[in-house]
Structure 1
């Protein structure tokens, strides 16, 4: 039997590796946030309307690839280990950044996005990795730390992107590609495998390596499918901000690009505090279910506040409340990962990633069209954001019913 101290040290080391990988990945992703829309506009001949249409095409195409490929990658990680899938995802992201840096036309840019959508599984596979090396009662805290890694991306990435892209729109993508390939080498030479051969799936099940087949796992556990529905509603609602934030705050409050960058920084900083400091203590005191419910109520309240705020300073007052939505995914992932076996963690993450792909397909078009309709018809300007808040209220009701069900012992999937 292995020494408990040695085993604990190994788990800490593995978490350190995967956290560093996630931070670097998030920063490289964050670099492109302020730059990609401008690059699309430049390749569209400076036509803002055409650029907006291409943005919808890019988001929808990426979501379609996620919908079909997420379960495939999840099953691959269960059968062959987490590390190969993480490396494949990083390689796909790095190549996508090279497409952004050198693409001569929008069609070449779209090709890179499709490749990235087909291989993007770094965060979902990282979650499966952490479920492998973390005791069930500690997973919500660890997932909170992983959420803070994404916040670091919003804290640092857009600032770097803005600085590097002042004179050359392509330069930030070269920097992001370099950072991603360093990340790939880090994973190749440093990252240990988390899923030993004896805990892997015995065979690759093609019936479950597709969006519909992956739902069998969600249906095979008591309360798992409703929890997955909560995650889908959260992801769907959250798309409203990257879809309309820039247009909404510039039109309603007159915020400049520079001040919007400050808001990205503030949002990222608050997210880090919530996910690295408050999640662990809250889960320990209140449990995963109550932590999830608090996060959903806070997120809904934050959205309704954002949609109501008549002036910029009032919008700012809502950011601490909305930051508590950082409780949602740690609590939700903690509950969901308890319900499946070790060799099914990747399949679980793949299934949820497929649902997220549906959200990525539908969200930008829905919120973008609702926001445009509210402006043209003289309806409340915050209508799209209120719609997102309503989705989180629906998720709260669903979670209230689903999360209180007892967590049964994982049964074999059908």
Structure 2
């Protein structure tokens, strides 16, 4: 577990470095805030689309050839993306490099399958939380460092991110062990390489059901947030790369605190199903509050108050993993990652027009929060579907009063 956690930390640290500076870099090649929002949306779309196509492919290949070689290959793509972006002299260069980084960044699905390989079903929610803490730590340290470096030179964070990305395959080659023994590998199911077929297979997993719809609705809310966070802060509060970096630092701190330390304790009190519901409710309220915030300090209060919101993804992911056969963890996690990537494709298409439509309002105006109100609506709907799903599962298991006894 420590090996995979360190590789994910390095991976996400390199990604976090560029978050506060990429929108500003895009702005160099545009002439107005509305055009900047639109062009940034296109770049985010190409990145997410590449992930959508690649995630099930990498997941299925890892079921056949092992997690280690696929992870090592995947770590090389972001380095190419970062160095090309750093040297970009035109917008088309940014667009050309993003699909490479997006496709290889889809190896997050393989990292999740790696954790499933080495964990018992009862350990998975906690260990997915530990992995989530590494994601959070990368987003805690990366954006702050990116904001500081971006204030020196806008392209410097991309060179540093590229160097970090190259360190990962070197570290992994010498240290990272294989998690999938030969006897648990299986031939590539070619239909699983099709992202649409992979999603169908996810729906068919026993016990998953409406959770697919929950992921499909909660996912866009998170990706809309990632897409517009920096631009929203710029338009509403006048934030630059440094202020955006510090706000993402606080989000990272909360993610590490909750998923790395509190999640294990919470799971002793609440089952994953209840944590998922609490998380979706907390996130719904948080999105409304972020959208309505008129001062910068309010954003930080909401981040800290949204404690349960950081438990949702790990809780749902553990439930999906439990439903999958031990030989299908790569395929199942790849399908989940592909679904999330599809949402990452759709998010810019939904978020950037909303933000562009309100970009003319003065700083501090509540209208600028329009994309975040949209996120709140998505989270509320996913909360309703999750509640219906867990209620139906309890009925099927004979746990509700008056329900027939379970045949098992």
TM-score normalised by the chain length of structure 2: 0.90
Aligned match of 2:38: 53
Alignment check: 8 A CA contact 2:293 2:366 kept: no
Alignment of 1:355 onto 2:339 = yes
Aligned match of 2:95: 110
Alignment check: 8 A CA contact 1:28 1:179 kept: yes
Q: Compared with structure 1, are the counterparts of its residues 167 and 314 closer, same or farther at alpha carbon in structure 2 (3 Å cutoff)?
A: closer
1:11-410 alignment runs, 5 A limit: 15-42=1-28, 44=29, 48-201=33-186, 203-374=187-358, 380-404=367-391, 405=393
Question: What is the Cα deviation at residue 276 of structure 1?
Answer: 1.2
Alignment check: 8 A CA contact 1:85 1:121 kept: no
Whole-angstrom CA distance in 2 between matches of 1:134 and 1:306: 36
Whole-angstrom CA distance in 1 between matches of 2:234 and 2:57: 40
**Comparing 293-302 and 236-245, the one that deviates more:** 236-245
Q: Compared with structure 1, are the counterparts of its residues 247 and 353 closer, same or farther at alpha carbon in structure 2 (3 Å cutoff)?
A: same
Q: Could you give the per-residue CA deviations for residues 106-160 of structure 1, whole angstroms, max 9, x where no partner exists?
A: 2232222111222222321111100000111111111111111111122111122
Q: Compared with structure 1, are the counterparts of its residues 26 and 291 closer, same or farther at alpha carbon in structure 2 (3 Å cutoff)?
A: same
Whole-angstrom CA distance in 1 between matches of 2:190 and 2:112: 22
Residue ranges of structure 2 left out of the alignment (5+ in a row): 398-408
Whole-angstrom CA distance in 2 between matches of 1:209 and 1:285: 39
Question: What is the Cα deviation at residue 399 of structure 1?
Answer: 1.3
Whole-angstrom CA distance in 1 between matches of 2:341 and 2:204: 22
Whole-angstrom CA distance in 1 between matches of 2:176 and 2:241: 38
Q: Could you give the per-residue CA deviations for residues 215-242 of structure 1, whole angstroms, max 9, x where no partner exists?
A: 2321322332421222222220012322
Give the superposed CA RMSD: 2.2
Question: What is the Cα deviation at residue 45 of structure 1?
Answer: 6.0
* Aligned partner of residue 367 in structure 2, secondary structure: coil
Whole-angstrom CA distance in 2 between matches of 1:394 and 1:121: 27
Whole-angstrom CA distance in 1 between matches of 2:36 and 2:354: 18
Residue ranges of structure 1 left out of the alignment (5+ in a row): 1-14, 409-414
Alignment check: 8 A CA contact 2:237 2:295 kept: yes
TM-score normalised by the chain length of structure 1: 0.88
Number of equivalenced pairs: 392
* Aligned partner of residue 248 in structure 1, secondary structure: helix
Question: What is the Cα deviation at residue 385 of structure 1?
Answer: 1.1
* Aligned partner of residue 207 in structure 1, secondary structure: helix
* Aligned partner of residue 27 in structure 2, secondary structure: helix
